[in-house]
Structure formats: structure tokens, C-alpha cells
Chains A and B, each alone.
Chain A
């Protein structure tokens, strides 16, 4: 923890731009190498050649190694956070590797742990404030009574926990969090494209019975199951806290993203972003190991 504190104080994290962190990391490493050289030159007691294992017992060396690896992980998380934008929660859930099918998982349990994890690196979120939709984490605990936790499970099995304000339909919530749930009729009960499967029978029974019009639309849904409902008809209420909704196989990747079309930035889909993050991760680890070797042999 002592080391962590030092990291927090000495690392001034930029508040935006993966590019900045990419520049920052090599600068720090270079600074570290220069520092090491200075220490080496000024310590008269240390002969040029030393048995290699002696390195490992030196606290200063240990500190430098841990600094590098901590910075690597920091940089990795930075890249992940920033390239995801609003998908902050996905990284946490993936890290945790829990499954909705256990029906015991709850995002509320997750929140303190993720916050502690974040706290171990940074003092506050502000250094890394991503886009607005991430805002829920710190305030979620306080605003629990006005929002509930819902987890969407995509066709690939990916779990996406989100916070939904009470009174909002699941379709709207999905679109606000850029989850790929199609809503062709915009919630007017003319289609069944927002069809979701409630994964837990207990939660399904808590929902009000579907009206005739919803049943008529469910008739036409693809992959209909016993616990299927239309996403536009499930409205968030306190007793639905922790509900898991699975998006069936054929209704994915089609949600229209208004911003995407207006600016045509070609925003990556979730799958592509995962790969981009892996790409960054690989680069950081290569640099990490390269510098480790470099430090070790000099």
C-alpha cells in the first residue's frame, strides 16, 4: 500500500487522451532508467559486477520493478477506460467473471470491490473521467433508491451491468447504454424486435402479466421461451433490482446509434473494441517485458 500511495502522488495522470498516456509511459520509464544510472554512479560501495541475485534484495530495485509493472497496469487500464468510453462497467464484470446463471450475482456486491480496486490506483475518478454514462458508479450507492441494477446478457454471453432509473423501460435503458437491442417500432407494441428473455423465473413472476397486445407481438418473436417479454414493456421498479435479461440470438447488433450516423465516425462495435483493448494490452506488456530485461541486464 505504501508503494501504491507513492504511485498516486507521483503519477499525475492526464485527464484525457490515450495518446497522452502513451507518451507518459515511455517518459516515466526513461526517467526511471536515468535515475537508476545516477544511483549506480553515485554509490561508491557497489562494484561494477555484482552477483545477479543481489539485485532482487535491494529495495530500491524492487521499487523500480514494481513501479514499472504498476505503471504498465495503470497504462493498460487507462487505455481500456478511455477506449471504452461509457462501457466502464464491462471491464469490471469481465474481470470478475461471474455468471448470471447462478442467480446469486448482484451488481451491488460488485460495486464496493471495483471501487476499492480503482481506489488502489487512483485517489479519485476525476483523473479518468470518461463520458457521462459512466457517472453511475460513485453516485450509485447514494442513489440506489432511485435506480436499480439490471444486467443484459448479449448473445455472446457477455454480461453488461447497467443502472436503470425507476420508471424507465428496459428498451430505453438499453439504448441509453448503447446495448444492441433493436426497437423497430420505438416501443409502440407493433413489433417484437425488443424481445428479451428473463433469466430468472423468480423475476419473471414479479413482472405484471403481459397484456393481449404484448402477447400478440410475442407470438411473432424469434426464439420465444417461457420467460420471454418485450423489453419496451418491462419498466424498472424496486423489486426488479438485480434482474438479468438475455438478448436472444437473432436480435443483436442492429440498434441504431444516432450519434454514429450523424458524425459517421464509424464507432466500433463492442467486439471490435475488445480487440482494440487486447491490442493495447499486448503493446504495453511487450514494452513492460522489454524494459524489465533492459533494466535487468544493465
Chain B
């Protein structure tokens, strides 16, 4: 047994030297990409890992998804920087899969291609009026206040109304509600994008409704975020007492899940504590349960703009295994508002030559190995192609969930290497990074290496220190590429 183990150790240490260095390309530089890179570098000595990203800035949603008032969640960036600074790893920004380089070309240049580009689109509600002005996806709104270069032009109108409706009660919904309701003086010292800060300072929104299809026991948020939003200074919280009634099925669900039990306790405590009426001028947060949107109402005065949501009351029905779904009851009511933010889930985007399951919004895979079609047949594996993160599991979980996801995918990769499944590719040397840079150069793509990102980072911190913020994000493509390119 020891000899077998020793053989494995020796094999891993020397395999890459005896054959050719393993060249891996990871598409996507968010948590999934970096955790996978770290694991591969650690497990396979001699391997070379290149991380490419569409943006000039790395770190994915840690930079553009985590709310500005949660700086400690971004501490994980330090760990990722250390990975990127490893000699065997390089970050290549401003390289878009499908535009700058195709998947087929990447698979020719590298022994292993690993896709970890997450989810950049949204689930649609699928109801009339979804294309009215004023109806935005929460993902775009988050990009907007986090300074994502693609979110800069969103320009949500926060001045024409005092009510905002958010569909969904997950952590993203709570983040959005919190940013809308927090006193802007508190936001001014975070790394929120300055155009967003200006808009929020002029915002007239005073009431926010968080609408969920099901009850408080099924709310998808987590305790920390809920506690935070309930603790905002000078905020009136309203939860209908009748919504807090629980059924035996609810009790069963709470018994099996610690998170749901604690969420319910927090919500019931918040419903009874505090005044029963808001004082004038106070901001309000309403939790609306058991309502699903039926259609968006168009304004009479301003054609093409949303003026409210037509909601249907729901009731819960058990579908077995302790889960309950919402079904409509036929009773309706209206909720008027000037802006609607849909926070019902993200969705991944397919690229050419990549098998994709449109229904689930993920790449069909078995433990990270990509399958050739959606049938789930485990024998039709695409050699040398792997997935990790949201593209593999769907858009759920926290940053740390990617740790375990990366472990699983890299275990599959290592297994394939040992069993010789990838021998046909690993036996030949691949051009890897040099080949990729050559092709990109021919196509006049301005690659942003990690050192260039460090220049951007320094500049952002410098600008931020002038305004008492940790950093002042550069929010347009031109600015980012200019600073990246300057010496």
C-alpha cells in the first residue's frame, strides 16, 4: 500500500516532467476559477495554469457581486492574489470566450480546459409587461452599484417614485433592499461606485417591498443578511402577523433545517418588536409573503413605464419530501410602485461548441466532467473539458461552496490523468500560454496581465483615499484599459 502510494507521489511529482507540463486553461476568474487553480497548482507540480476573464479585473462576483458594505467578505481576495502571483499561474484579462478566442481553439492550445464563468444572465418571470421601463433585474442593479463596466449605463430612475418592489427574498434581494434604504452617509465610506452613490443621494425611494411567493419559513435568505437589514437605523419593518402562522408541514421543514428555523424566529421577532406605525419621513421595509406576480401594470401617464405589479395570493401545497410549492388562489391585489427589481435567480449563458442544458441553465456534467449531451449518459464524456462553480451546480450557494465544488472537479481531473483517460492529449506538448498570446496578438486583443490589474488596483485605492473610501472603482472599459496599459 505504501509502495502504491509512493508510486502515486512519484508519478505526480515526475509525470509532468517526464511527459510534458500539464497546461490548464481556466475560463473565469471568480471564486470557482481561483479555488480550482489553487488546487491544481497544489496537486500537480509542474502544471501551468492560465486564468482568462472577460473583464480586465479579476475576482468575478467577489468584486462585482458582494455588496459594498460587506468588506470582510472580500478578504478572500488576498488568498486569490497569492494564487495569481504564483510563477506557474497567470491571469489574462480582457479575453472573452466566444469573442477573442473560441472554445475549440482553447482546447487545441491546452491539455485541459476548465469552464468557471458563472452566470451572467437572469431567470425570467415570464409574465406580461416584463419589458416595461423601470423593470430591471437585480443582477444588473448590483452591477450598477458595484461599478461593473457593463452595468454603468443602467441608469435606474430612483427619483420618480417613493416605492420600489423587489421580487424575491434571497440574499441578493436583501442586498438590494439594504442599499436602497441605508443612509447614504454610511454608503459614502464604502467602495460603492460613485455614480450609484450620487443617484442614491438623490433618490426619493422611501418604501421597499420584498415580495415572495411562499411564506417566512421558505424564505431563501440567510440569517446574517436578514439580521443586518432588520438592524438598519431608523427603519420601520412591517410583517403581517397572519403571514407568520405556521402549518404542521412548516414545522416539519423547520425541524429539518436550522437555517429556516432561525430565519423564522428572526422574522417573528421583528414583526412584534418596534412600533406598529411608521413615523413620518421614516423609511419602510415591508415583507410580503404568499404573493406571486401575475403581470406588470403600465402607467397611464407615461406609456411604456411600469406603475405597479398585479399580485395573486398563493397558498402552499406539499409535493413530497418535505418541500412545498406555491399555487395561485385566484385572488388578486395591486401594488403600485415606480421601479421593480427582479431577484429570482441568475442563469448561465451558453457559448458555441459547448453542450448546454437550457432548462436548468447549466452545462451537463458528472462531477465536473462535461458530458456531450443532455441525456445524462455518463459514457459520453468530453475529454479534457471540465466545469466548476455556478456553471456546474446552478447559481446557488456562497463563496465557500466553490471550495468543495473545486475539490470535486479537481479530483475528477486528477483521476482522469492517473487513469490515462487524457493520455491522448497529455502525450503531446501543447502551446499553452504562448500559443494563446500569439493568437490574441494577431487579433489585436489587449491582454491585461495580473501586473496590469495591480496597476488598476493601486490607482483605485489612490483615488479612494482622496475621498475617504477604501477604493474608488474605475467603472468604464476605457478607463480600465487605459490605466492597465499605462506604465
Contacts and interface: CB of A to CB of B under 8 A. Distances in A.
Given A184-B76, A191-B400, A192-B400, A219 B88 contact: no
Contacts, number: 95
B96 interface: no
Interface string B70-86: 10110110110011011
B72 A190 contact: yes
A258 interface: yes
B257 to A, nearest CB: 9
A275 B6 contact: yes
B5 interface: yes
A276 interface: yes
Given A215-B223, A224-B258, A275 B79 contact: no
Secondary structure class of chain B's binding surface, majority of residues? helix
B69 to A, nearest CB: 12
A24 to B, nearest CB: 24
**Main SS at interface, chain A:** loop
B259 A269 contact: no
A184 B78 CA distance: 9
A185 B73 contact: yes
B393 to A, nearest CB: 14
Contacts of B400: 182, 184, 191-193, 220
Residue from A185, A190, A213, A253 having most chain B Cβ neighbours under 10 A: A190
B33 to A, nearest CB: 15
B38 interface: yes
Contacts of B45: 266
A274 B35 CA distance: 25
Nearest to B1: A278
A267 to B, nearest CB: 9
A264 interface: yes
- For chain A, give the interface size range: 35 or more
Given A190-B72, A216-B224, A250 B42 contact: no
Interface string B1-27: 010011011000100000000000000
Interface centre among A192, A220, A271 (most CB of B within 10 A): A220
Given A219-B222, A256-B79, A182 B403 contact: yes
Contacts of B35: 254
Contacts of B83: 256, 261
A215 B227 CA distance: 12
B38 A254 contact: yes
B472 interface: no
A74 interface: no
B224 A184 contact: no
Contacts of B2: 275, 278, 282
Contact of B404 (A212, A250, A264): A250
Interface in A75-111: none
B78 A261 contact: no
A279 B259 CA distance: 48
A172 B45 CA distance: 27
Given A256-B83, A275-B2, 12 more contacts: A184-B75, A188-B75, A189-B72, A193-B403, A212-B223, A212-B227, A216-B262, A254-B39, A254-B403, A258-B82, A264-B86, A266-B13
Interface of A: 182, 184-186, 188-193, 212-213, 215-217, 219-220, 222, 224, 250-251, 253-254, 256, 258, 260-261, 264, 266, 268-269, 271-272, 274-276, 278-279, 282
Interface of B: 2, 5-6, 8-9, 13, 35, 38-39, 42, 45, 70, 72-73, 75-76, 78-79, 82-83, 85-88, 222-224, 227, 258-259, 262, 398-400, 403-404, 407
23 contacts: A182-B400, A184-B399, A185-B75, A190-B72, A191-B400, A193-B403, A212-B223, A212-B227, A220-B222, A220-B400, A250-B404, A256-B38, A258-B82, A261-B82, A264-B88, A268-B9, A271-B5, A272-B9, A274-B5, A275-B5, A275-B9, A278-B2, A279-B6
